[in-house]
Amino acid sequence: MPEVLSGPAHAKVNLVLEVLGKREDGYHDIDTILQEIELADRVSIEPAAEWRIEVTGPRAAGTPADESNLALKAAMLLAERVNSSFPCLIRLEKHIPAAGGLGGGASDAAAALGLLASAWPSTRIGEIVEVAEAIGSDEAFFLHGGTARARGRGEQINQLQPLPAHDVVLFVPPQTIERKTARMFAELGKHEFDVGRVAERFAAHPPAVFGSADVFNAFERVAFDLFPWLAELWQDLEQRIGEPVRLAGAGPCLFWIGPSGEGSRIAAACTGAACEVIATHTTSRK
């Protein structure tokens, strides 16, 4: 293994997120369009005497630095699959806000798997995919990145034509809640599930221009039930920019997406709002 392996782990936003129903295994069937964005953590791996993880960076708060960390779990599980007896130190330089609906933990895990696969040449792609699916639901997407449709519980990935360059502005509230995703799914179960047409239309006819008004996210139906404090921020942001903002994944981060070149104006208009404002843009892996 080289002395140090390093690479980016990008965040994502859901352009469409439909929840179709609950499965017998306890998960939910979803139909979602995922879009990778430029905002990224930095994942580094190096040989060590034992498996360890270190978390640093400007947005390290809220990211576990123990065996519950998804990147460490994924790396250790892959080592078991390929019979590797060489432990590693994983360093995460965090730039993606934790527990905000942007997929940072899943992306870190996928990046770690990719780095270790390059270090362990005997690793088969099937083993990487199996580990990614065992760890969580978004990890499979991050093995591919770009623009993709995910179905099942998120593990069934179909790459789509890359979305043309768009600006994205993220709005990160100063608080979240514990067990957020599970609680959001539970709350959504009190309502009718989606019929699954929005993601299908997007996949059949990928748009050249996409805006916040085009986003569909089933979790918006219950966002204020679990994040009652989010309503005031949401309203303030929309008043400032005169356009919709949308929930990122299971939240509580919000985001705006629109034409390339407009993001700086949107970000500037939201200076002073009760959140962190991060201007970024879509990306693809051509």
**Per DSSP, which regions of the chain are E strands?**
5-22, 28-47, 52-56, 88-93, 147-151, 156-159, 166-172, 216-217, 246-247, 254-259, 276-281
Range of the domain at 30: 5-159
Strand partners, 258: 167
Ramachandran region of residue 107, left (φ > 0), alpha (ψ -120 to 50) or beta? alpha
DSSP state of 193: P
Task: Give domain status of residue 48, yes or no.
Answer: yes
CATH of residue 269: 3.30.70.890
What DSSP string runs through 112-143?
Answer: HHHHHHHHSTT--HHHHHHHHHHH-SSHHHHT
Position 146: which residue type? G
Half-sphere exposure of 284 (CA within 13 A, CB side): 11
| 175 shares its domain with 270 | yes
Same domain? 143 vs 273 = no
Q: Which of 159, 176, 210 is the last residue of a domain?
A: 159
Asked if residues 281 and 257 have their Cβ atoms less than 8 Å apart, the reply is no
- Overall number of domains in the chain: 2
> What is the model's pLDDT at position 2?
60
Boundary-marking domain end, from 159, 184, 204 = 159
Whether 181 and 127 share a structural domain: no
235 part of a folded domain: yes
Same domain, 178 and 205: yes
- 192 and 52 in a common domain: no
Q: What is the Cα–Cα distance from 126 to 235, expressed in whole angstroms? A: 45
My answer on whether 147 and 245 are in the same domain is no
Query: Does 178 reside within a domain?
Result: yes
- What is the reported pLDDT for 3? 82
Six token digits for residue 235: 């309203």
- Classified as helix, coil or strand, 168 is strand
Encode pLDDT of 81-117 as tens digits. Answer: 988 888 999 999 999 999 999 999 999 999 999 999 9
Does residue 53 lie within any of the structural domains? Answer: yes
Q: Do 102 and 219 belong together in one domain?
A: no
Residues 104 and 222 in one domain: no
Q: Which of 128, 159, 190 corresponds to the end of one domain?
A: 159
Is residue 188 located within the same domain as residue 144? no
Q: Is residue 184 part of a domain?
A: yes
Same domain, 72 and 148: yes
CATH of the domain at 58: 3.30.230.10
pLDDT number for residue 28 = 92
Residues 212 and 134 in one domain: no
For the annotated catalytic residues, the residue numbers are 12, 138
Phi, psi of 64 (to 5 degrees): -65, 145
Q: Which helix (H) or strand (E) holds 79?
A: helix 70-81
Which of these, 218, 159, 254, lies nearest to 20 by C-alpha position?
A: 218
Same domain, 141 and 190: no
pLDDT at res. 6 = 96
Question: According to the model, what pLDDT value does residue 122 have?
Answer: 83
Burial of 271 (0-12, 13-18, 19+ CB in 10 A): exposed
| DSSP state at residue 68 | T
Q: Is residue 254 part of a domain?
A: yes
Q: What is the DSSP string of 24-40?
A: TTS-EEEEEEEEEEEEE
Q: Specify which residues 37 forms β-bridges with.
A: 282
Residue 286 placed within a domain: no
- Tens of pLDDT along the chain (286 residues)? 568 899 999 999 999 999 999 998 888 999 999 999 999 999 999 999 999 999 999 999 999 999 999 999 999 999 999 888 889 999 999 999 999 999 999 999 999 999 999 888 888 889 999 999 999 889 999 999 999 999 999 999 999 999 999 999 999 999 988 889 999 999 998 999 998 899 999 999 999 999 999 999 999 999 999 999 999 999 999 999 999 999 999 999 999 999 999 999 999 999 999 999 999 999 987 6
Give the model's pLDDT for residue 286. Answer: 66
Angle CA(70)–CA(71)–CA(77) in degrees, nearest 5? 85
